[in-house]
Chain A
Amino acid sequence: MRTYRDEAVVLRTHDLGEADRILTMLTREHGLVRAVAKGVRRTSSKFGGRLEPFGVIDVQLYSGRNLDVVTQVDTLAPHGRSIMADYGLYTTATAMVETAARLTDVEHEPATQQYLLLAGALRALADRRHASTLVLDSYLLRALAVAGWAPTFASCARCGQDGPHRAFSAPMGGALCTDCRPPGAAAPAPETFLLLGALLAGDWSVADGSDERHRRESSGLVSVYLQWHMERQLRSLRHVVRA
Chain B
Amino acid sequence: MSTAYEGAVADLIAELGQLPGVGPKGAQRIAFHVLASDTADVARLAEALIQVKARVRFCVVCGNVAEAEKCRICVDERRNDTQICVVEEPRDVVAIERTREFRGRYHVLGGAINPINGIGPDELRIRELMTRLADGTVTEVIIATDPNVEGEATASYLSRLLGSMGLAVTRLASGLPVGGDLEYADEITLGRAFEGRVTMRA
Residues of A within 8 A of B (CB): 12-13, 15, 17-19, 40-45, 48-54, 80, 84-87, 90-91, 94-95, 97-98, 235-236, 238-240
Contact = CB atoms under 8 A, between A and B. Distances in A.
B116 A52 contact: no
Interface residues of B, number: 27
Contacts of B157: 87
Interface of B: 20-23, 113, 115-118, 120, 148-149, 152-153, 156-157, 160, 176-181, 184-186, 189
Contact of A48 (B117, B179, B185): B179
B149 A53 contact: yes
Contacts of B120: 238-239
Nearest to B123: A239
29 contacts: A12-B116, A13-B149, A15-B181, A17-B20, A17-B22, A19-B184, A43-B176, A43-B180, A43-B184, A43-B189, A48-B178, A48-B179, A48-B180, A49-B177, A50-B179, A54-B149, A85-B152, A85-B156, A86-B156, A87-B157, A87-B160, A90-B156, A91-B153, A98-B116, A235-B115, A235-B116, A236-B116, A239-B120, A240-B115
Contacts of A52: 148-149, 178-179
A84 B180 contact: no
Given A45-B179, A235-B118, 9 more contacts: A44-B177, A48-B180, A49-B178, A84-B156, A85-B152, A87-B157, A91-B153, A97-B116, A235-B115
A84 B185 contact: no
B164 to A, nearest CB: 14
Contact of B179 (A41, A90, A98, A239): A41
A15 B120 CA distance: 19
Given A17-B23, A84-B156, A239 B115 contact: yes
